[in-house]
Amino acid sequence: MSASSIDNFLGSGDTLARLQAHAGRLLRLQQQLGELLPDYLADACRVANLKGEDLVIHVESAGLAVKLRQAVPSLLADFARAGVILRDIKVKVAVGEYRPAPPPPPHRHVSDSTRSGLDHLAASLPADSPLAMALKRFVKRAG
């Protein structure tokens, strides 16, 4: 595939360069945001977009969004001190992908004689043996 057909496929090189520069700015803003916020809040916030001079941040929960909205004036000042001029910071709650709870592990029945035999085998092995510890866990869970 020639260079011109790649440009036609992906759009003009200028458009791609602008997109790459925008992505780089978002990554730098994410890093700066992480440095400005306390750890518990920084871990839950993601820079979503920069529209002109408005920064959009996605937060994992509504409670943390409230805390971040309260911190917007000081964040604007902190970003300005770092050389990033922003007019506003918009905070949005980003709902995570729904994942149903995994099904509980199946309960496997082990007969009393088997449980007794495994317990006896575990007792006959050295106490620090990984096999003995695994057998004891198995007998405990199966009981």
Q: Does the residue 99 lie in any domain?
A: no
Q: Does the residue 102 lie in any domain?
A: no
Q: What is the pLDDT of residues 58-108, one digit of tens each?
A: 999 999 999 999 999 999 999 999 999 999 999 999 877 778 888 987 777
The larger pLDDT score, comparing residue 9 to residue 122, is at: 122
Q: Distance (Å, rounded) from C-alpha 128 to C-alpha 132?
A: 7
Same domain membership, residue 133 and residue 68: no
Count of domains forming the chain: 2
- CATH code for position 49: 3.30.300.180
Q: Distance (Å, rounded) from C-alpha 77 to C-alpha 39?
A: 19
Q: Does the residue 107 lie in any domain?
A: no
Question: What is the distance, to the nearest Å, from the Cα of residue 68 to the centroid of all Cα atoms in its chain?
Answer: 18
Task: Write the CA distances from 120 to 110, 124, 132, integer angstroms.
Answer: 15, 6, 10
Q: Which residues contact 44 (CB under 8 A, 6 or more apart)?
A: 59, 60, 61, 64
Residue ranges making up the domain that contains 133: 112-142
- What is the secondary structure of 69-101 as a DSSP string? HHHHHHHHHHHHHTT---SEEEEEE-PPPP-PP
Same domain membership, residue 80 and residue 40: yes
Q: What is the pLDDT of residues 115-141, one digit of tens each?
A: 889 889 989 999 889 999 998 888 888
In the block, which residue shows the tokens 């050389």?
83
Same domain membership, residue 16 and residue 83: yes
User: Side-chain half-sphere of 130: how many Cα atoms within 13 Å?
Assistant: 0
Q: What is the pLDDT of residue 1?
A: 46
pTM: 0.59
Q: What is the pLDDT of residues 18-65, one digit of tens each?
A: 889 999 999 999 999 999 999 999 999 999 999 999 999 999 999 999
Question: What is the DSSP secondary structure assignment for residue 53, as one 8-state letter?
Answer: T
Residue pair 50/89 in contact by the 8 Å Cβ criterion:
no
Q: Which of 113, 102, 110 is nearest to 141 (CA)?
A: 110
